[in-house]
């Protein structure tokens, strides 16, 4: 599935901020073993209590989609897929025609094209437009089988994010994402919808329907590398679940003109076939897809570690100036992975602990911490390596204490509600949060353990600094 962070690169709207700037490790190319079957998938639709109750009632306002366990809609989808050309289970599937989006209301499509609306908001608007046509849309069966309330942090209220994700940096990412979605909708409304109310009436194109369509896109959109990274909703293929251990990705196959994937392992008939949604951490999977893999099963797992300059530092002002020059601030997050930490984290930590006598190096440390150029310069300052490691471990300790506080409190949380529906939702969200916090705390513990075997340390750095 598409990497959600890319939304910010394809969107022209100023509402999308770049506040969160993690040092991303790029996804390795998909590994495909040709001896296993290539599967042709489908055509494409193109390139506090009151808060909880409100969230539940809001979902009812989206008049399409279905409950996740709707057998009726699933059967209708199955019939529609077969009628549209998806062959019965057979390996390999024959090719299926690629189709670009055609608006049932062409005037609406032309207006969005005139305003050069980027892929994500364009698809979100297209999905709402087709959904509102119900049976008369050619995608009606597909849209009816989409979840009415996609699982993603977009559907958590602010109170729920604060309550359950207090310890995790994913809370900030979720708030940022929700703000961006609201900003995108407001921008479309002001610039376009308000000028064409007949084409984009507010009863249909509103914040709730946009939240739904963005929730669908975040959890189902596919990025197609061989179509210059264009994104698409691919019926049928978007029913595949994620497995952290498989390396099977969807892509467009130019020769057969269809979306295909090649499995990297043999499956028995009746066995569930998985794909990979990308090398994402547990937090990122929760953010976009609303689930957390079992602890210890995700080799791409990471936790955002927050590092800060000490206000009592004699060189606080100079260090902050150097950081600001490179687009960083006095407090910054870096990904700590199971396999190690990035050079940017190390560079920031060197800067944070370096004494006044090293002021001439502040600039190069800040530059390496920002790593705007993409150069992975492995800085070495043996004289401050020890306090630097201590600084990282103290930061881990601080973060661990927040997770531990939440995990201890979670045992007695949520017993104060009387409605079974409310209780179910709370228990479900709490379990997701507990799973996430356990997996993130585990990575922090692991980083701390490295301190215990110092002799192993230098080898660790040279091998695992990313
Ligand atoms: C692209 S859809 C996959 C199809 C989904 N099973 C369906 O039929 O709607 C993504 C959603 O599937 C669920 N999902 C995918 N992989 C999962 C996994 N390994 N564990 C739990 N839920 C998963 C999540 O709810 C996610 O938002």
How much is the pLDDT for 83?
79
Pocket test for ligand 1, best of 2, 242, 244 (most atoms within 8 A of CB): 242
| Alpha-carbon gap, residue 6 to 148, rounded angstroms | 24
| Ranges of CATH 3.90.1410.10 domains, the chain | 4-289
CA of 391 to the centre of ligand 1 (A): 39
In this structure, which residue's CA is closest to atom 15 in ligand 1? Answer: 241
Pocket test for ligand 1, best of 65, 74, 289, 432 (most atoms within 8 A of CB): 289
CA of 290 to the centre of ligand 1 (A): 8
Neighbours of 61 (CB within 10 A): 11
Pocket test for ligand 1, best of 75, 291, 300, 439 (most atoms within 8 A of CB): 291
Longest dimension (CA), the chain: 75
In this structure, which residue's CA is closest to atom 23 in ligand 1? Answer: 241
| Alpha-carbon gap, residue 160 to 291, rounded angstroms | 16
Neighbours of 115 (CB within 10 A): 13
| Alpha-carbon gap, residue 299 to 244, rounded angstroms | 7
CA of 215 to the centre of ligand 1 (A): 12
In the numeric block, which tokens belong to residue 28? 């390795």
Q: For residue 134, give Cα distances in angstroms to 12, 80, 142, 144, 464.
A: 30, 15, 10, 8, 53
| Alpha-carbon gap, residue 432 to 438, rounded angstroms | 10
CA of 289 to the centre of ligand 1 (A): 7
In this structure, which residue's CA is closest to atom 27 in ligand 1? Answer: 289
How much is the pLDDT for 88?
58
CA of 273 to the centre of ligand 1 (A): 12
CA of 430 to the centre of ligand 1 (A): 19
- Taking CB atoms and a 6 Å cutoff, what residues make up the pocket around ligand 1? 1, 147, 151, 219-220, 238-239, 241-242, 289-291
- Which atom of ligand 1 is least distant from the CA of 288? 27
In this structure, which residue's CA is closest to atom 10 in ligand 1? Answer: 219
Cβ atoms of residues 391 and 310 within 8 Å: no
In this structure, which residue's CA is closest to atom 24 in ligand 1? Answer: 289
Q: Who contacts 228 (Cβ-Cβ below 8 Å, separation ≥6)? A: none
How much is the pLDDT for 380?
87
In the numeric block, which tokens belong to residue 27? 């996804």
From the list 287, 311, 171, the residue with the least C-alpha distance to 218 is 287
**Strand residues in 16-79 grouped as ranges (E):** 38-40
Place of tokens 């390496």: 368
Pocket test for ligand 1, best of 221, 233, 236, 241 (most atoms within 8 A of CB): 241
What CA dihedral angle connects 92, 97, 98 and 100, to 10 degrees? -150
| Ranges of CATH 3.90.1420.10 domains, the chain | 302-464
Q: What is the DSSP secondary structure assignment for residue 150, as one 8-state letter?
A: -
| Alpha-carbon gap, residue 71 to 329, rounded angstroms | 51
| Alpha-carbon gap, residue 133 to 139, rounded angstroms | 9
Q: What is the ipTM of this complex?
A: 0.98
Q: What is the pLDDT along the chain (466 residues), one digit of tens a residue?
A: 654 443 333 322 222 222 223 222 222 333 233 345 555 544 444 444 444 445 444 445 777 777 766 777 778 887 887 777 765 554 333 333 334 558 888 999 999 999 999 989 999 999 999 999 988 888 888 999 999 888 889 999 999 999 999 999 999 999 999 999 999 999 999 999 999 999 999 999 999 999 999 999 999 999 889 988 888 888 888 889 999 999 988 888 888 878 888 888 889 988 999 999 999 999 999 999 999 999 889 999 999 999 999 999 999 999 999 999 999 999 999 999 988 888 999 999 999 999 999 999 999 999 999 977 656 667 889 999 999 999 999 999 999 999 999 999 998 887 777 788 888 889 999 999 999 999 999 999 998 886 555 444 444 444 344 4
- Which atom of ligand 1 is least distant from the CA of 243? 19
Cβ atoms of residues 392 and 349 within 8 Å: yes
Q: What is the DSSP secondary structure assignment for residue 271, as one 8-state letter?
A: S
In this structure, which residue's CA is closest to atom 21 in ligand 1? Answer: 291
Alpha helices in 279-415 (DSSP H): 282-289, 316-325, 343-353, 362-370, 385-410
In this structure, which residue's CA is closest to atom 3 in ligand 1? Answer: 239
CA of 233 to the centre of ligand 1 (A): 15
Q: Who contacts 462 (Cβ-Cβ below 8 Å, separation ≥6)? A: none
- Which atom of ligand 1 is least distant from the CA of 220? 1
Q: For residue 230, give Cα distances in angstroms to 6, 96, 108, 127, 464.
A: 11, 18, 21, 16, 33
How much is the pLDDT for 126?
94
| Alpha-carbon gap, residue 177 to 183, rounded angstroms | 10
Q: For residue 28, give Cα distances in angstroms to 123, 279, 300, 301.
A: 27, 8, 11, 15
Write down the architecture of domain 302-464 according to CATH. Alpha-Beta Complex (3.90)
Helix (H) or strand (E) holding 459: helix 457-464
In this structure, which residue's CA is closest to atom 8 in ligand 1? Answer: 239
In this structure, which residue's CA is closest to atom 22 in ligand 1? Answer: 291
CA of 177 to the centre of ligand 1 (A): 20
Per DSSP, the three-state class of 445 is: helix
From the list 457, 455, 324, 464, the residue with the least C-alpha distance to 393 is 457
In this structure, which residue's CA is closest to atom 26 in ligand 1? Answer: 289
CA-based torsion, 110, 115, 119, 124: positive or negative: negative
From the list 342, 331, 341, the residue with the least C-alpha distance to 307 is 331
β-strands 274-275, 251-253 pairing: unpaired
- As beta bridge partners, residue 334 has 305
- Which atom of ligand 1 is least distant from the CA of 238? 1
In this structure, which residue's CA is closest to atom 13 in ligand 1? Answer: 241
| Alpha-carbon gap, residue 98 to 262, rounded angstroms | 18
Cβ atoms of residues 340 and 460 within 8 Å: yes
From the list 21, 232, 195, the residue with the least C-alpha distance to 119 is 232
C-alpha of 215 from chain center: 11
CA of 150 to the centre of ligand 1 (A): 10
- Which atom of ligand 1 is least distant from the CA of 1? 1
| Alpha-carbon gap, residue 196 to 266, rounded angstroms | 52
In this structure, which residue's CA is closest to atom 12 in ligand 1? Answer: 241
CATH 3.90.1410.10 fits 4-289, yes or no: yes
């Amino acid at each position: 599935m598409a990497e959600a962070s890319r939304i910010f690169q394809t969107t022209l709207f100023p509402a999308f901020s770049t506040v969160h700037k993690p040092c991303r490790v790029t996804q390795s190319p998909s590994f495909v073993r040709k001896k296993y079957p290539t599967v042709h998938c489908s055509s494409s639709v193109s390139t506090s209590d009151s808060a909880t109750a409100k969230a539940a009632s809001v979902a009812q306002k989206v008049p399409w989609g279905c409950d996740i366990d709707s057998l009726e809609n699933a059967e209708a989808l199955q019939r529609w897929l077969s009628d549209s050309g998806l062959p019965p289970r057979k390996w390999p599937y024959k090719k299926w025609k690629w189709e670009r989006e055609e608006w049932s209301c062409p005037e609406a499509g032309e207006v969005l094209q005139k305003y050069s609306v980027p892929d994500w908001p364009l698809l979100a608007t297209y999905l709402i437009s087709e959904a509102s046509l119900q049976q008369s849309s050619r995608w009606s069966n597909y849209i009816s089988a989409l979840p009415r309330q996609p699982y993603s942090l977009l559907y958590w209220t602010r109170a729920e994010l604060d309550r359950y994700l207090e310890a995790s940096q994913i809370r900030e990412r979720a708030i940022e994402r929700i703000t961006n979605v609201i900003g995108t909708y407001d921008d479309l409304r002001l610039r376009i919808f308000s000028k064409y109310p007949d084409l984009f009436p507010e009863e249909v194109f509103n914040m709730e329907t946009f939240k739904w369509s963005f929730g669908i896109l975040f959890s189902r959109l596919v990025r197609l590398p061989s179509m210059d990274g264009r994104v698409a909703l691919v019926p049928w293929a978007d029913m595949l679940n994620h497995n952290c251990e498989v390396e099977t990705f969807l892509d467009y196959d130019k020769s057969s003109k269809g979306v295909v994937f090649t499995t990297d392992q043999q499956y028995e008939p009746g066995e569930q076939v998985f794909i990979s949604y990308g090398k994402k951490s547990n937090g990122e999977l929760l953010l976009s897809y609303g689930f957390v893999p079992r602890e210890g099963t995700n080799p791409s797992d990471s936790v955002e570690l927050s590092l800060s300059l000490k206000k009592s530092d004699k060189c606080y002002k100079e260090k902050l100036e150097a950081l600001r020059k490179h687009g960083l601030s006095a407090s910054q997050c870096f990904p700590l992975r199971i396999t190690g930490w990035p050079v940017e984290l190390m560079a920031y930590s060197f800067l944070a602990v370096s004494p006044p006598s090293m002021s001439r190096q502040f600039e190069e440390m800040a530059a390496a911490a920002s790593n705007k150029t993409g150069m992975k310069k492995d800085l070495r300052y043996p004289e401050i390596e020890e306090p630097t490691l201590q600084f990282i471990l103290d930061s881990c300790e601080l973060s661990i204490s927040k997770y531990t506080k939440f995990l201890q409190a979670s045992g007695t949380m949520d017993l104060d509600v009387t409605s079974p529906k409310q209780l179910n939702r709370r228990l479900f969200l709490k379990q997701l949060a507990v799973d996430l916090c356990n997996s993130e705390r585990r990575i922090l513990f692991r980083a701390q353990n490295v301190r215990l075997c110092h002799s192993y340390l230098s080898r660790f750095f040279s091998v695992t600094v990313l």
